Amino acid sequence: MSETITPAGEAVTEVKITVRPNGSLRVEGPVRLLDANGGEWNVAGKPGISLCRCGASANKPFCDGAHKTIGFESTETAPAQ
């Protein structure tokens, strides 16, 4: 992880989100994961979490590998900069 200094001079640790081909969203960094009511999953101390984006996980919001069994296809790539 790297640190970025905001215009207000605050140090912020970056969070990295990787869109995995045909799979989950891998989130790495110091994040909090909340539901719509403010309830929180305990993800403290984990180096990263994988969030389901195929809709088939039995353990949402986490990926449980079900994307492989349903043949989920999604291979978006970021535009060239």
Interface ranges with ligand FES (CB under 6 A)? 23-24, 52-54, 56-57, 63-67
CB closer to ligand FES out of 49 and 67: 67
Spatial separation of the C-alpha atoms in residues 59 and 66, rounded to whole Å: 10
For the bound state, the minimum distance from the C-beta of residue 57 to ligand FES, rounded and expressed in Å, comes to 4
CB of 71 to ligand FES, least distance (A): 12
3/73 with CB nearer ligand FES = 73
Q: Are residues 41 and 51 in contact, defined by beta-carbon separation less than 8 angstroms?
A: no
Neighbours of 52 (CB within 10 A): 21
The one-character DSSP state at 55 is S
* 21 or 30: CB nearest ligand FES: 21
What are the beta bridge partners of residue 3? Answer: 13
